[in-house]
């Protein structure tokens, strides 16, 4: 890390991640999709509440049937009671048992007629049934289903062997739910006759409850699995369309940072019109601008080194000669050369410092409305007071106030105008006139500075704005200018969103005309 560089470690509060900070973007996409599917899968467990309600309804029906039988049985003739109980049990698919008040079994529908249901031996069922029961146990454990006892026929079939009979009272039947060996539901209900002479017990194997719950659970599971498959595919698709290009952009950014390649190509993703495409093009433009700035900085550093070597070499030669020369006059001449070289280096370093800072200072500057007519007029008055233009006259066509107004920084705009006026004066012959005008045209303020010098050849009209361009008038003393004046002027103009160019004078006279176009303040504020 470069000394003095401050790392920005603070993260905006709205962008901070807490518990998922260690996750990759792919993992987050997958987690979000799977979380939604998990909520859908939770519907499997809500089936248990439906099963509970269904069992409760079946128990209610069984109690009603047992009470109906206990109430209606005394009304049936004694010789028809067996037929009545068999028909009642066949209609309800139940087993009906009658016990007297001493608890002895008086009647059993399975003894009179064929059984209406049979328990299945789980050891003789196919593996699919075994797997289904295993899943039932797992789901019942996960949802915290109420534990049920296994239904077992008593060795001595008496009323005391059935808890529901001991709890039943006339008009208040009691029901119980137990598991058959194959985990299907067995619902029993007991009711006492109005005169307590006998008790009725009905039992039924409600296989359809388990079958229905399993069927619904299977349908939901298949839907969840299908949704899971689609969710994973969508997550992979999102990961490829989001994560993959971001990974490429990150790798390119790392290459730019490391500077291992002279030209790093950041993919622009022109086919994408989303935020990632915008990011890719922004990073590409940023890397190109960064490379251009680095190249410009390297070229500027090379130019600086080259420009400083000349006065340093001259200064060293003068100082070395001053040590060996005995003639006082020649020594004084060499010291004058050394002083001139020092002044030249001081001027050069000042201009270099100014040129290197102007970009960054303009980027942070707060622009305000400036009347260029007033600025030029005040600038010319100051030059006249200190006779800065020698015998060269300056004519300024002063516009009306408020016409030539631009948004900018006054110090920089004044520096730009000073450099251009100095350049025009230095190329003008004695007695010449430098003409300055400022007009408004098409939402732009056009400033023209025309001299009567030799003009600028067309092939050199771009080169003169380069740094350290050293083509100067023959009559000017060497080292009076650093070659940065026009380069600084162009940087200031472009920093104000304007343009500068040099062309022939519009009136056809000999000389050069520098034309600056800046947005007027009214257009800038729109």
* Contact indicator for 128, 134 with CB cutoff of 8 Å: no
Sign for the CA dihedral angle at 138, 140, 141, 147 comes to: negative
Within a domain: 312 = no
Provide the pLDDT for residue 280.
80
Give the 3-state secondary structure of residue 98. strand
d(CA 80, CA 88): 12
d(CA 108, CA 467): 116
DSSP letter string over 399-454?
A: PPTTTSEEEE-HHHHHHHHHHHHHHHHHHSPTT-EEEEEEEEETTEEEEEEE--SS
Q: How far is CA 470 from the centre of its chain?
A: 51
Picking from 404, 491, 417, 401, the residue whose alpha carbon sits closest to that of residue 446 is 404
Picking from 239, 199, 211, the residue whose alpha carbon sits closest to that of residue 33 is 239
Cα–Cα distance list, 505 to 78, 353, 464, 486, 511 (Å) = 136, 33, 17, 18, 6
d(CA 359, CA 76): 112
* Contact indicator for 370, 410 with CB cutoff of 8 Å: yes
Per residue of the chain (526 residues), what is the pLDDT tens digit?
444 444 444 445 444 445 455 566 667 677 776 776 666 666 666 667 778 888 899 999 999 999 999 999 988 888 898 999 999 999 989 999 999 988 899 999 999 999 999 988 888 888 888 888 888 888 777 777 777 889 999 989 999 999 999 999 888 999 999 999 888 999 999 999 888 889 999 999 998 888 888 887 777 778 778 777 877 777 777 777 777 777 878 887 777 777 655 566 777 777 777 777 787 888 788 777 777 777 767 766 666 666 677 677 777 777 777 777 777 777 787 787 777 777 777 766 766 666 666 666 666 677 889 999 899 989 888 888 877 777 888 998 888 888 888 998 888 888 889 889 988 888 888 888 999 999 988 889 999 999 988 888 888 888 888 776 666 555 444 445 556 778 888 888 888 889 999 988 888 788 899 999 999 886 555 4
Calculate Rg over the CA atoms of the chain: 51
Provide the pLDDT for residue 173.
93
Torsion of CA 87, 93, 99, 105, to 10 degrees: 90
Within a domain: 223 = no
- Of 201, 217, 233, the domain-final residue: 217
What is the DSSP pairing of strand 174-179 with strand 198-206? unpaired
Within a domain: 311 = no
Picking from 220, 203, 224, 201, the residue whose alpha carbon sits closest to that of residue 212 is 220
d(CA 140, CA 133): 10
Within a domain: 296 = no
Sign for the CA dihedral angle at 444, 449, 450, 455 comes to: negative
Tell me the CATH number at 69: 3.30.450
- Eight-class DSSP state of 240: I
Provide the pLDDT for residue 21.
53
Picking from 521, 237, 248, 230, the residue whose alpha carbon sits closest to that of residue 403 is 521
Within a domain: 89 = yes
Torsion of CA 133, 136, 142, 145, to 10 degrees: -120
Domain span at residue 70 reads 41-217
β partners of residue 444: 441, 519
d(CA 305, CA 299): 10
| Angle, CA of 386, 391 and 396, to the nearest 5° | 75
d(CA 481, CA 307): 12
d(CA 201, CA 173): 10
Provide the pLDDT for residue 478.
44
Within a domain: 330 = no
Q: Is 146 left (phi over 0), alpha (psi -120 to 50) or beta?
A: beta
Within a domain: 463 = yes
d(CA 486, CA 484): 6
Tell me the CATH number at 387: 3.30.565.10
Within a domain: 158 = yes
First to last CA, the chain: 43
| H or E, element range at 499 | strand 499-504
Give the 3-state secondary structure of residue 525. coil
- Of 197, 217, 237, the domain-final residue: 217
- Of 217, 246, 272, the domain-final residue: 217
Q: For residue 495, how many C-alpha atoms fall within 13 Å in the half-sphere facing its CB?
A: 26
Q: What's the total number of domains in the chain?
A: 2
Picking from 75, 329, 51, the residue whose alpha carbon sits closest to that of residue 185 is 51
- Eight-class DSSP state of 6: P
The reply to whether the predicted model has a pTM over 0.75 is no
């Amino acid at each position: 890390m470069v000394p003095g560089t401050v790392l920005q470690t603070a993260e905006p509060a709205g962008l901070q991640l807490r518990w998922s900070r260690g996750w990759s973007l792919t993992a987050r996409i997958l987690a979000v999709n799977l979380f939604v599917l998990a909520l859908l899968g939770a519907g499997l467990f809500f089936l248990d509440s439906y099963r509970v309600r269904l069992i409760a309804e079946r128990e209610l029906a069984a109690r009603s049937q047992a009470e109906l039988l206990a109430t209606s049985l005394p009304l049936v003739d004694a010789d028809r009671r067996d037929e009545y109980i068999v028909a009642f049990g066949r209609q309800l698919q139940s087993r009906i048992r009658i016990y007297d008040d001493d608890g002895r079994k008086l009647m059993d529908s399975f003894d009179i007629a064929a059984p209406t249901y049979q328990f299945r031996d789980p050891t003789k069922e196919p593996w699919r049934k075994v797997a289904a029961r295993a899943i039932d146990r797992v789901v019942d454990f996960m949802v915290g289903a109420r534990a049920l006892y296994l239904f077992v026929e008593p060795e001595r079939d008496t009323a005391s062997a059935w808890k529901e009979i001991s709890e039943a009272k006339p008009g208040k039947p009691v029901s119980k739910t137990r598991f058959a060996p194959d985990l299907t539901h067995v619902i029993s209900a007991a009711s006492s006759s109005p005169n307590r002479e006998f008790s009725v017990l009905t039992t039924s194997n409600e296989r359809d409850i388990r079958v229905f719950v399993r069927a619904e659970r299977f349908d939901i599971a298949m839907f969840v699995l299908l949704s899971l498959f689609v969710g994973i595919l969508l997550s992979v698709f999102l990961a490829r369309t989001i994560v993959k290009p971001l990974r490429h952009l990150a790798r390119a950014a790392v290459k730019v940072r490391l500077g291992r390649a002279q030209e790093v190509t950041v993919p622009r993703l022109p086919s994408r019109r989303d935020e990632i495409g915008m990011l890719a093009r922004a990073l590409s433009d940023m890397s190109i601008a960064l490379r251009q700035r680095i190249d410009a900085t390297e070229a500027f550093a090379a130019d600086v080194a080259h420009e400083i070597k000349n006065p340093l070499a001259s200064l060293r030669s003068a100082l070395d000669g001053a040590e060996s020369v005995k003639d006082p006059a020649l020594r004084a001449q060499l010291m004058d050369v050394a002083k001139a070289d020092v002044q030249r280096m001081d001027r050069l370093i000042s201009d270099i410092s100014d040129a290197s800072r102007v970009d960054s200072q303009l980027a942070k500057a707060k622009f305000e409305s400036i009347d260029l007519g007033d600025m030029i007029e005040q600038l010319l008055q100051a030059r006249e007071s200190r006779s800065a233009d020698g015998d060269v006259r300056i004519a300024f066509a002063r516009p009306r106030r408020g016409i030539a107004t631009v948004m900018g920084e006054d110090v920089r705009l004044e520096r730009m105008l000073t450099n251009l006026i100095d350049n025009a004066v230095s190329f003008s012959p004695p007695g010449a006139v430098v003409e300055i005008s400022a007009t408004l045209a098409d939402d732009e303020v056009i400033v023209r500075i025309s001299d009567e010098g030799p003009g600028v050849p067309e092939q050199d009209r771009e080169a003169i704005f380069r740094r350290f361009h050293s083509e100067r008038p023959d009559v000017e003393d060497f080292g009076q200018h650093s070659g940065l004046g026009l380069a600084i002027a162009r940087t200031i103009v472009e920093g104000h969103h304007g343009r500068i160019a040099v062309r022939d004078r519009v009136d056809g006279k000999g000389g050069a005309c520098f034309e600056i176009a800046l947005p007027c303040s009214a257009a800038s504020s729109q």
